[in-house]
Amino acid sequence: MNNRSCPVCSNPLKSKYKLKFNIYYCPHCGLLNSDAKFEYSFQSNLESDSRDIGLKNLRLKNFAAITDQLKKYYGPDIHKIKGLEIGSGNGWWLQTCQQNNIDCIGIEPERIYDSYHQEHKLNILYGFYPEVNVKQEKGYDFIIFNDVFEHIEDINGLVESLKKDLSADGTLIINLPMSTGFFYKAATLMHKFGFNSSLERMWQFNFHSPHMNYFNDRNMEFLLNKHNFLKIDALKLDSLDFSSLKERIMADKGISKLKALMMTSALRLMKPIILNSKPDIKVFCFKKRL
């Protein structure tokens, strides 16, 4: 029997899909929620080198768009602000900050990229937020999540911690995948015909850090409003770099080279449809209500 309640609006959740983990749906706000668990061994069916090749150009392009937003907010004071990234991964956002003379520190639970972090002199503390002590006397001017927020189970406790660590005029930036995007809708359609692998992949159930939630515009804003944040911007970001599709698909060790080639060809044929569909990735910017 399901007695789960929605972490966004507290209404009862309904069972939606039964995959490796169960997926639930909130009829009130549309949140999609899973009962997946984080694997603290950090072992998963993921090929990090292929994943990095498939993602790097895309991420750097999207990070440039987010940097432009920060420049819009802070203008000539951009070089005086202090930022915090939660879940720095390979450190590409921190490198973007370095290149733009933006002071930003990162928190990262994994050490798979620590040699890369050291080589590029990235300011990273290892551990989980908010357990890692990153307190600033006046708070951070911005806190950013890049494809991390959807992996957090206790989102209400998280947002309350963020509120304490942001400065009075600080900006919360959340860059994440959307449940209303082309690829999530396509995966649910394939599930109806008995093909579960795409939906499993969208939730990253074969990786050690699966998605706990999938958001849409409405429930994302509802969640932050509930904690006294006000949305100031929401921007569409690109979800694919068509020049490195094969490498991104091959990041999943469970996909053969032949299947990866077929999927790459199909996606390239669908490029016009994908580019004109609802965004798969958005970045939301919030300010605390004073």
What's the alpha-carbon Rg for the chain, to the nearest Å? 19
- pLDDT > 90: what percent of the chain? 73
Residue 241 has pLDDT above 80, yes or no: no
Poorest-pLDDT segment among 19-23, 109-113, 165-169, 268-272:
268-272
Give CA–CA dist 210/220, Å, rounded.
19
pLDDT tens per residue across span 225-239:
999 999 999 999 987
Positive or negative: CA dihedral 135, 141, 143, 144: negative
Helix 155-165 / helix 217-226 crossing angle, nearest 10 deg = 60
pLDDT tens per residue across span 62-84:
999 999 999 999 999 999 999 99
Judge contact between 33 and 4, C-beta under 8 A: yes
239 phi and psi, to 5 degrees? -110, -10
200 Rama class: left (phi>0) / alpha (psi -120 to 50) / beta: alpha
Residue 280 has pLDDT above 80, yes or no: yes
Q: What is the chain's percent helix, strand, coil content, to nearest 5? A: 40, 25, 35
User: Where do the structural domains in the chain lie, given as residue ranges?
Assistant: 44-288
At 249 the pLDDT is: 55
Q: Which of 37-46, 81-90, 266-275 holds the top average pLDDT?
A: 81-90
Strands 140-146 and 229-237, how do they pair?
Answer: unpaired
Judge contact between 286 and 235, C-beta under 8 A: no
Judge contact between 283 and 173, C-beta under 8 A: yes
Write the DSSP assignment of 25-53 as a string of letters: E-TTT--EEE-----TT---SB-HHHHHH
At 50 the pLDDT is: 45
Residue 45 has pLDDT above 60, yes or no: no
At 133 the pLDDT is: 86
In CATH, the number for domain 44-288 is 3.40.50.150
Residue 247 has pLDDT above 70, yes or no: no
- pTM (2 decimals)? 0.89
Give CA–CA dist 75/84, Å, rounded.
19
Span 116-140, mean pLDDT? 94
Closest residue by Cα to residue 207 from 128, 290, 89: 89
At 263 the pLDDT is: 65
Q: What angle do CA 216, 180, 213 make, to 5 degrees?
A: 50
pLDDT tens per residue across span 201-223:
999 998 999 999 999 999 999 99
pLDDT tens per residue across span 175-191:
999 999 999 999 999 99
Residue 46 has pLDDT above 60, yes or no: no
At 251 the pLDDT is: 57
Span 250-271, mean pLDDT? 64
- Cα–Cα distances in angstroms (integers) from residue 16 to residues 22, 24, 25, 98, in the given order: 8, 5, 6, 43
Write the DSSP assignment of 118-159 as a string of letters: HHTT--EEES-TTTS----TT-EEEEEEES-GGG-S-HHHHH
Q: Between residues 217 and 253, which one has the greater pLDDT?
A: 217
- Cα–Cα distances in angstroms (integers) from residue 246 to residues 182, 252, 281, in the given order: 19, 11, 20
3-state secondary structure of 260: helix
Q: What angle do CA 132, 34, 236 make, to 5 degrees?
A: 75
- pLDDT > 70: what percent of the chain? 83
